[in-house]
Amino acid sequence: MTKLAEPERADLPRGAGAGRSRSGVAWGLNALGVVVVGFWFVRNGIGLHHPAWVWVLGAVALAAWVLREFGRSTGVVLGAGALMVLAGSSVVVPTDSLMIVPVIVGIVLLGATQTLPVWLGAVAAVVSLAVIAVSATVLHASVQFVLGTGAGLLLGVLIGFSRRQSRLAEQRSREALAEQQRAALLADRSRAARDIHDVLAHSLGGLVLQLDAVEALLEAGRVDEAARRAGEARTLAADGLAEARRAVHALRDDADTEPQADVEDRSRASRLGTLLADHRSFGGTVHAQGDEVLADLDAAHRAAVVQVCREALANARRHAPGRPVAVSVVRDGSAVSVTVTNPLGSDGHGITGMRERFAELGDGSTVDAGIRDGAFVVAMRVPVADRAGESS
């Protein structure tokens, strides 16, 4: 049975409280970056006697870098990234490009965050380059210095965009997997619904007929025959209970650990001969022709054929009680054709279930149900190539 797994939460902030915890490696690398840049910023600042405004703006850029590690909302991400870019860019020239590191980190952050516009990283890089150019003009830095920092900013834009695309692809992959799991779960539920429908149509419907017969026999004083019918009703009820238990068992996660008793019951329930005998015990008449064992079919195809025959016989009991039913099994070259015919037509969920069951086989097996010449006919055709002789 397929179980829907909760998709892994994304690595990036997508709103307040969104996003999974950053990995220990990411925390460690960013902490190391803050410590290393902070150490050289202080050491060089003392040696070069930075003015107060450099100390303040550099401290703001480093503090925003730290804040980025703890913030998860879009507002915190945007604020931290903007501070890193603006404050860091203002002191890139006086720190001899040391503070370009938090600027690049901020650009990557803004470009990679999915809740922010994709162009924001590029705009941040342009703004940063403009600030650096103005600062370089005021402090008489060379053009080559500005171009070198521009290359670093471009690298940050590319890294941010790459990370965004990678995470978008990862998110789509998780969503596709979740959708596949959902589709599989719905298919399992549909299959269980069909099995439960079979139980209601065959076992419970037959049980009602048996009990009605028991009541009539008791009223007629035919106690021994009534006792025999009651025993058949008990067997039918036990079989129905086993089938219902299997249908419910299919919805559980441990469906692979089916009890041996249920396996044996399922084997009995998947025999066409047993099904025809049950129909006769309900008072019905069946004219069977051909191989009731369905020896040319493997277990899966045999089970599908038997389930459709069960529904067809239940329809016959419901719409044509007491009327004869004809069942024929014919080997036709590389296929087995199974036909069930009764005098009246039918409608409801049973026909839909028949078609769904055969569609799941996915190998050209077909079932056609409808009225022909005043009779309701269910015709099945199942390929048997490369399956003859397989165990049930």
Residue 191 has pLDDT above 80, yes or no: no
Q: Give pLDDT tens digits for 323-347.
A: 888 999 998 888 898 999 887 644 5
In the predicted structure, residue 204 carries a pLDDT above the cut 70: no
- pLDDT at res. 126: 93
Sheet holding 286-289, edge to edge: 286-289, 325-332, 335-342, 375-383, 366-372
Residue scoring higher pLDDT (263 or 172):
172
Mean pLDDT of 128-154: 90
pLDDT reported for residue 158:
93
User: Tens of pLDDT along 4-26?
Assistant: 444 344 343 444 333 344 567 77
Site of tokens 């069946």 = 286
What's the rounded Cα separation, in Å, for the pair 371 and 342? 10
Pair type for strands 335-342 and 366-372? unpaired
| Average confidence (pLDDT) over 191-196 | 70
End-to-end Cα distance, the chain: 22
pLDDT digits (tens, 9 = 90+) for 230-247: 777 777 677 667 766 766
Query: By the 8 A CB rule, do 185 and 2 touch?
Result: yes
Q: Which domains does the chain carry? A: 24-180 (no CATH), 287-392 (3.30.565.10)
Mean pLDDT of 295-317: 83
- Evaluate if residue 361 carries a pLDDT over 60: yes
Question: What does residue 389 show for φ and ψ, rounded to 5 degrees?
Answer: 90, -5
Across residues 47-53, what is the average pLDDT?
87
User: Quick check: 385 pLDDT over 70?
Assistant: no
Q: Are strands 286-289 and 325-332 parallel, antiparallel or unpaired?
A: parallel
* pLDDT above 90: percentage of residues in the chain: 11
pLDDT number for residue 53: 92
Q: Which residue has the higher pLDDT, 313 or 254?
A: 313
Spatial distance between the Cα atoms of 375 and 103, rounded to a whole number of angstroms:
82
pTM more than 0.75: no
In the chain, pLDDT over 70 holds for what percent of residues?
Answer: 78
Task: Determine contact, residues 95/41, Cβ cutoff 8 Å.
Answer: yes
Q: Which of 173, 256, 175 is nearest to 2 (CA)?
A: 256
pLDDT score of 296: 86
d(CA 189, CA 261): 23
Give me the pLDDT at residue 125, please: 92
Dist CA 379 CA 366 (whole Å): 8
66-91 pLDDT, tens digit per residue, is 888 776 677 888 888 889 999 999 99
Quickly list DSSP for 184-245.
HHHHHHHHHHHHHHHIIIIIIHHHHHHHHHHHHHHHTT-HHHHHHHHHHHHHHHHHHHHHHH
CA 267 to chain centre: 30
Q: Round to whole Å and give the CA distance between 369 and 127.
A: 72
With contact defined as beta carbons under 8 Å apart, do 23 and 275 qualify?
no
Q: What does pLDDT average to over the chain?
A: 78
Q: What is the pLDDT of residue 202?
A: 62
What is the radius of gyration, based on Cα positions, of the chain?
Answer: 37
pLDDT band at 265 (very low <50, low <70, confident <90, very high): very low
- Phi and psi dihedrals of 259, rounded to 5? -60, 150
Q: Is the pLDDT of residue 258 over 60?
A: no
